[in-house]
Chains A and B, each alone.
Chain A
Amino acid sequence: SQTIHQWPATLVQPVGSPLSLECTVEGTSNPNLYWYRQAAGRGLQLLFYSVGIGQISSEVPQNLSASRPQDRQFILSSKKLLLSDSGFYLCAWSVGGTPTNEQFFGPGTRLTVL
């Protein structure tokens, strides 16, 4: 069966510090991968998605970037965090090659920028 991992689970960082959140998927090959952010009391906003190694699409202009160095690894980064980057970050995967499949989500990382 497929599983998706995210770490760390929680993170408190000062403004201006770098960020690296990692997401890995097991039990599937060539998945589509996604990063979402959920601000407090809000819905989910798609930040990035990837259909393959090295292929990144950005949905909203922002202070963050994403990379996919391996087939089942998706990384969310920032060089300098802003207060507005605080939120709950969720990674998700779906079966590759099909645009309409359901997405399966990881446990999330709660980021607080102080």
Chain B
Amino acid sequence: AQKVTQAQTEISVVEKEDVTLDCVYETRDTTYYLFWYKQPPSGELVFLIRRNSFDEQNEISGRYSWNFQKSTSSFNFTITASQVVDSAVYFCALSVNTGTASKLTFGTGTRLQVTL
């Protein structure tokens, strides 16, 4: 069975601070995929990134960056120079190859509050 742990329940930062959201996963599959989603107050989940287990290169997209380390089973998400609009709940998720449907296992989420 798959498991995703987001140990940080809530984080508060002041605008322009950098913040890292932690994600630790467990799976026995050698091929798997990791995701991050953002859930703003409106409730809809917004897809941010997908990484496969064979690609450990870190990725940067504007102020967002992701650090994937198989050795520690972690897929951490860093927001540089945070802004108020980054306030949301962020979910890390994992899927494995189980046929024709993508079944995501989600962590419990980290609520990020960015204040002025």
Whether A97 is near chain B, meaning CB under 8 Å from some CB there, is: yes
Q: Which residues in window 1-60 of B have CB below 8 A to A? A: 33, 35, 37, 42-47, 50, 52
- A residues in contact with B97, CB < 8 Å: 99-100
Q: Which residues in window 1-56 of A have CB below 8 A to B? A: 32, 34, 42-46, 49-51
What is the chain B residue whose CB lies nearest that of A49?
B101
Q: How large is the interface on B (under 10, 10 to 19, 20 to 34, 35 or more residues)?
A: 20 to 34
* Distance of A42 Cα from B102 Cα, bound (Å): 21
The one of A50, A57, A106 in contact with B44, judged by C-beta atoms closer than 8 angstroms, is A106
- B residues in contact with A32, CB < 8 Å: 100-102
The one of B44, B50, B52 in contact with A107, judged by C-beta atoms closer than 8 angstroms, is B44
Q: How large is the interface on A (under 10, 10 to 19, 20 to 34, 35 or more residues)?
A: 20 to 34
* Distance of A43 Cα from B103 Cα, bound (Å): 14
Q: Min CB distance, A103 to chain B, in Å?
A: 6
Q: Which residues in window 50-106 of B have CB below 8 A to A? A: 50, 52, 91, 95, 97-104, 106
* Distance of A49 Cα from B45 Cα, bound (Å): 17
Q: Min CB distance, A4 to chain B, in Å?
A: 9
Whether B113 is near chain A, meaning CB under 8 Å from some CB there, is: no
The one of A51, A107, A110 in contact with B101, judged by C-beta atoms closer than 8 angstroms, is A51
* Distance of A78 Cα from B43 Cα, bound (Å): 23
* Distance of A101 Cα from B35 Cα, bound (Å): 10
* Distance of A103 Cα from B108 Cα, bound (Å): 17
Whether A90 is near chain B, meaning CB under 8 Å from some CB there, is: yes
Is the CB–CB distance between A107 and B43 below 8 Å? yes
- B residues in contact with A94, CB < 8 Å: 101-102
Is the CB–CB distance between A98 and B102 below 8 Å? yes
- Give the interface of A toward B (CB within 8 A): 32, 34, 42-46, 49-51, 57, 59, 88, 90, 92, 94, 96-108, 110
- Give the interface of B toward A (CB within 8 A): 33, 35, 37, 42-47, 50, 52, 91, 95, 97-104, 106-109
